[in-house]
Amino acid sequence: VRCRTRARLRAGATQRLNDSLSSTEAGTLQVHMYHQPGTPNSSGTLTFSFGEYLAEELCVAAAKACGILPVCHCLFALATEDLSSWFPPNHVFTVSDATSLVVVYRIRYPPPRAPAHAGPGALGPRRRPLSRSDFLRGLVVGALSWQTLEACLCLAVLDMLRIAKESRQSLGRTFSCVSYKSCLPEGLRDQIQQRGFLTRKRIRRKFGQSLRRLGACQTDARYLKIKYLLDLARLQGAGAEECFCVPAPGGALGAGVHALAAACPGACSPALGPKAAPKSPVTPPPQTRQPFCDFPEIADIGIKQASRDSQPVENRVVTITKTDNRLLELEFPSLREALSFVSLLDGYYRLTADAHHYFCKEVAPPRLLEDLENRCHGPISSEFAVHKLKAAGSSPGLCLLRRSPQDFDSYLLTVCVETALGMDYKRCLIRKDPDGGYGLSGVARRFGSLRELLGTYQHCSLQADGVAMRLADCCPPRPKEKSNLLIVRGGCSALPSSPAAPRRSPNQMTFHKIQLESLTWGESLGQGSFTQIYRGVQRDQEGGEQHQTEVLLKVLDSGQRNYSASFLEAASVMSQVSHKHLVLLHGVSIGKDSVMVQEYVRHGALDTYLRRSQAEGKVTTSWKLQVAKQLAYALNFLEDKKIVHGNVSAKKVLLAREGDAAGRSPPFIKLSDPGVSITVLAPERELLVDRIPWVAPECVRDPAALALEADRWSFGATLWEIFGSGAVPLGALEPSKKLDFYLSALQLPPPKWTELANLVAQCMDYQPRGRPSFRAILRDLNSLITSGGRLAGRGEDARLPGQAGQGGEDPTLFEERHLKYISVLGKGNFGSVELCRYDPLDDSTGELVAVKRLQQSSADQLRDFEREIAILRALHNDFIVKYRGVCYSRGRRSLRLVMEYLPNGCLRDFLQKNQARLDHRKLLLYALQICKGMEYLGAQRCVHRDLASRNILVENDNHVKIGDFGLAKLLPQGKEYYVVREPGQSPVFCWRNRFPPTASPLVPTRAAPHVPAVVASPFPGLSSPGPRGPVPCCPDPPPIPQGPIWAANPPTCFAFASTRNPAPRAIARPCASRHATSRPSSRPALADRTFLRANSGLLAKPRPRGLLPGGVGSKSG
């Protein structure tokens, strides 16, 4: 329906409020109404005495006096008498002895036509007197011409006919008693009066002839009023406008002036925009305007005080942000004019897009704030109330609270009730007393608030039409939901009703395809849950010139082809949206591997940057607020497009520009693609649990429930993460504990900043319907930024409290995405060891680590791997490879062991490469350190079972360590060890007291002293009884040990404990004995330090360690 009426309101230079108002009785506030005869208040003026009054309260009182229904109340507002300024709904009028105020109650937001549900007398009787008054005061007609004069005379004829019909007088008598000039604008009267006598006579004669000709037609006053409004609309153009003359921010009023108009057009054309500065205050013609945006496209409005030379001034700067993040800044000479302009946009947005939203608290209607607090809808009709309950599931007891469409002081409660015939909807009336109490109609009990009333009846049974019912959840207003409170404008297509876009099949996906040959692969940047990430270069040939673009390459793992459709779907969605805070997708390369090619963002993930910059002090509270607001802009853009991201977290936010602490250059972030959607992870619940607390609780229960509300929950967790300087919430909790966190409906530790804590709590509401929209989040972030300037100097107010009991970060838990692959260190039958850099700060300063992973993650292999990790975790010795931690991936289905990296590799390869420069002292030192390590293992009742030179790692020329505990066993306390005699046979503890445990750990040690001396393995085929290994070629020691030391008969072998100055030959022979009872322990062989100093000259001082699990002490040899 195209707009039929228009009221152009010219606003010149605004004077102070008292100067623009008419004089009246002192100590009163008068509200003038354009009043129709026959209504209760025939005077057309409301008078208020001493006190304070909200503008909205005055509007409600005027609406009651005029018979305006609550559903049309939002179309009216208060203005000064000359209409130079409008008052926001929360403006406070103070009436005292020295004040005398006069305001006008009138329509500020004229709709295309009166709503059908508003009743016969809702708007029609109001609009014609308003339009006629504006016409007569010259507020409609701009430049006067003869064409304008003719149109105005036609309107005057219609007005004169109406007067005759309503006064029941003849046309001749009316024409003689009422001057036709009184039906014309003031400026046109003066222009006619300046004409000659003959001209004025001719105009009056022509007017009388037209009046008699139209008077012969049989018509009534109602038709004449409608015809008057239609002709007036054609005279003034397309829609109602308010024009504001403002300078550009920082400029003088006379230079660079922008005339900005806001209107409610009949079609979805842009309605807000700057224009070239006119030389006169007359509104510029429409063809000179440069449109900015339509009302539903506004994402955010902010008001701040202007400054000159770092000194605050009276001016106010209004910043309007579109959903695509384009900005429009306007500087108003005073706060009153700025609020008048912002309240205009705020009101039109509620009429055209969202009836329950406001942009800033400076213009927020008090009744709307009260409704949002009580989860109450506006005066919607019963049909829309029932429709909303059906959309919410219509569960028994589900209710909806709304204001009455007929009475300003009543509420209606619509409740779902299950009857024998099916689901029914009962209605209860709630009345508000003059003293502020609330109560159900027919019930004597009264309550202090609506929340108290609803909370009480959730535990009590109600009777409605003989049906018992009990209240359950209350259905709150949802963003941008349709209702009878919105104006339908011609040409506006209906928004899609489903918030979730249907999934596309692969042949329906849209993205640019990139040839794999055009990509150059660079360094690894880490990995995700399903992808490997690399830095690269894309080469394009265009016009004979080759262009190179730095890109980011995300490669889907070859073992995850089941998720390729979801992976490509994410690429398709990202390729069809464009926003400055969304990562640009160049295209996808599909071949052997699916590769997503994105723009390369310089500073990487936000969480790593926060950790890296925390100590440097570069990140302030205002810096974090700017980042959070930019993220909210991106998610608001997706929300308007009905696109669910589904994987919002700080590691998905990439930092393109650092900014500076002084605020001259703000930071700049981009939101990355969501990757594999959680909707395809339903069979693999552990993957969802691993994403707690970023994934919404309803998505853990049912991944198909992914909706726009899930992104709001994720934003709350990300906001907590940002102000926690990249700390991982619940990072150290086991999956079962994370599930308990959701099942118990717990919350993350609240920040010390109360307003920030409230925003996080609202976003992380366990009821999806209670989470605010991203426009509301932007509004709250604006208020935080306003107060954040005061907190910037003491940033501790925004920090998070201690995370005791909530699972702080575990230093032994490594994130998979921060492990950057470098090379392969070695491979075995069951696993491989890789060299990686763990770089959580993403600045190439992370430590190098050795990462052991299994080739296949079967249940048996994973169980053995976990046993190996448990053994290594319990060992703390200078000659044992240090345990760093573990790394889980893909919902903890696969596991990696992270150990310290020893740069010289295994002892076998080290000896082969450095044989020429290693003397016997250095070789003996290695044997000594191996013995110390084995002695420690024996004290811990740990059997290595795979000691060999390939499993001895070299840290440097003076230090070796024992590694690879894949076959190691821990002896339980009080048990003996049974030697495995057949491949694959597990040890059994049944031959008690036959094999002493102190000898068994040294069975593999027979190889250790030989390898340093002979370099190559000398023992092929020595498994049969009898033969011994060759004697190592070491120099004979001065003292010869007593007794046979290399005997094949175990009982005759010497005890290692009896040797004070053994030679390498003497050490090797008893260790290689085939009889366990004849093998010495490590401690006696290491007792004589005099011999060791003489032969090696190098000793490593042992370090004491703590107790191991089970009470076993940790000792060094």
State which H helix or E strand residue 522 sits in.
strand 519-527
Structure tokens at 161: 């006919």
**CATH T-level assignment (fold) for domain 811-983:** Transferase(Phosphotransferase); domain 1 (1.10.510)
CA distance 631 to 625: 10
Among 47, 41, 102, residue whose Cα is nearest residue 66: 41
Name the residue with tokens 């500020």: 108
Alpha-carbon distances of 471 from 251, 354, 414, rounded to whole Å:
58, 27, 10
User: Exposure pattern of 299-333 as b/e (b: 16+ CB <10 Å)?
Assistant: bbbbbbebeeeeeeeebbbbebbbbebeebbbbbb
**Two domains, one topology: 242-363 and 375-452:** no
The confidence score (pLDDT) of residue 1111 equals 37
Encoded amino acid at 928, one letter: L
Question: In sequence order, which residues have a C-beta less than 8 Å from that of residue 870 and are 6 or more positions away?
Answer: none
Per residue, the 3-state secondary structure of 878-906, as one string, reads: CCECCEEEEEEECCCCEEEEEEECCCCCE
Q: Tell whether pTM > 0.85.
A: no
- Parse the chain into domains and list their residue ranges: 24-107, 132-235, 242-363, 375-452, 516-599, 604-790, 811-983
233 CB-near residues (< 8 Å, 6+ apart)? 3, 4, 5, 6
Query: How would DSSP label each residue in 376-418?
Result: EE-S--HHHHHHHHHHTT--TT-EEEEE-SS-TTEEEEEEEEE
CATH architecture of 242-363: Roll (2.30)
Could you write out the three-class secondary structure of 54-84?
A: EHHHHHHHHHHHHCCCHHHHHHEEEEECCCC
The pLDDT value given to residue 1040: 45
pLDDT of residue 8: 29
The contacts of residue 874 (CB under 8 Å, 6+ apart) are: 940, 1108, 1109
**H-helix or E-strand containing 313?**
strand 311-322
- Give the 3-state secondary structure of residue 276: coil
Residues making up the binding site: 825-833, 852
Peptide bond into 379 cis (omega under 30): no
- What was the pLDDT predicted at 251? 60
Helix (H) or strand (E) holding 779: helix 774-791
Q: Alpha-carbon distance 533 to 821, whole Å?
A: 10
Closest CA to 301 of 343, 352, 270, 258: 343
pLDDT tens figures, 104-114? 998 888 876 55
- The DSSP call for residue 485 is T
**CATH architecture classification, 24-107:** Roll (3.10)
CA distance 728 to 733: 11
Cβ within 8 Å of residue 342, ≥6 positions away = 88, 301, 303, 318, 359, 360, 362, 363
Q: How high is the pLDDT of residue 986?
A: 47
CB 372, CB 98: distance < 8 Å: no
Give the span between the Cα atoms of 1072 and 1074, in whole angstroms: 6
Q: What are phi and psi of 7, to 5 degrees?
A: -130, 100
Q: To 10 degrees, the CA torsion angle through 261, 266, 269, 272?
A: 20
Q: What angle do CA 749, 750, 751 make, to 5 degrees?
A: 120
User: Would you state the torsion angle of the CA atoms of residues 824, 828, 830, 831, taken in this order, to the nearest 10 degrees?
Assistant: -20
Is residue 946 annotated as a catalytic residue, yes or no?
Answer: yes
DSSP conformational letter for 484: T
- The parts of the chain modelled with pLDDT lower than 50 are 1-23, 35-42, 116, 119-121, 238, 254-255, 265-271, 275-282, 493-502, 505-507, 792-797, 802-807, 984-1018, 1023, 1038, 1040-1043, 1045-1046, 1053-1062, 1088-1117
Q: Print the SS3 string covering 857-877.
A: CCHHHHHHHHHHHHHHHCCCC
The CA distances from residue 403 to 68, 378, 394, 480, in Å, are 15, 5, 20, 18
Cβ atoms of 446 and 394 within 8 Å: the answer is: no
Report the relative pairing of strands 594-599 and 653-657 from DSSP bridges. unpaired
**44 C-beta neighbours (distance < 10 Å), count:** 17
Q: Whose structure tokens read 């520009």?
A: 657
CA distance linking residue 748 with residue 768, whole number of Å: 17
pLDDT confidence of residue 438: 93
Contacts of 452 by beta carbon, 8 Å cutoff, 6+ apart: 438
Cβ atoms of 22 and 102 closer than 8 Å: yes
pLDDT in tens, 386-439: 999 999 888 988 999 999 999 999 999 999 998 888 888 989 999 999 888 999
Give the span between the Cα atoms of 907 and 925, in whole angstroms.
13
- By the 10 Å C-beta count (0-12 exposed, 13-18 middle, 19+ buried), 196 is classed as exposed
pLDDT at 1005 (0 to 100): 46
Q: Which CATH architecture has domain 375-452?
A: 2-Layer Sandwich (3.30)
**Contacts of 917 by beta carbon, 8 Å cutoff, 6+ apart:** none
> At residue 610, what is the residue type?
L
- Cα end-to-end distance, the chain, whole Å: 93
- 301 within 8 A of 345, measured Cβ to Cβ: yes
pLDDT in tens, 489-517: 765 544 434 334 445 544 467 788 898 88
Burial of 695 (0-12, 13-18, 19+ CB in 10 A): buried
Rounded Cα–Cα distance for residues 951 and 861 (Å): 20
Q: Which of 473, 946, 957, 1088 is catalytic?
A: 946
CATH annotation of 604-790: 1.10.510.10
Query: Domain 516-599 adopts which CATH fold?
Result: Phosphorylase Kinase; domain 1 (3.30.200)
The predicted pLDDT at position 16 comes to 30
The pLDDT, as a whole number, for residue 700 is: 92
C-beta neighbour count of 750 within 10 angstroms:
15
List, as residue ranges, the binding site for ATP.
825-833, 852
Q: What is the pLDDT of residue 337?
A: 93
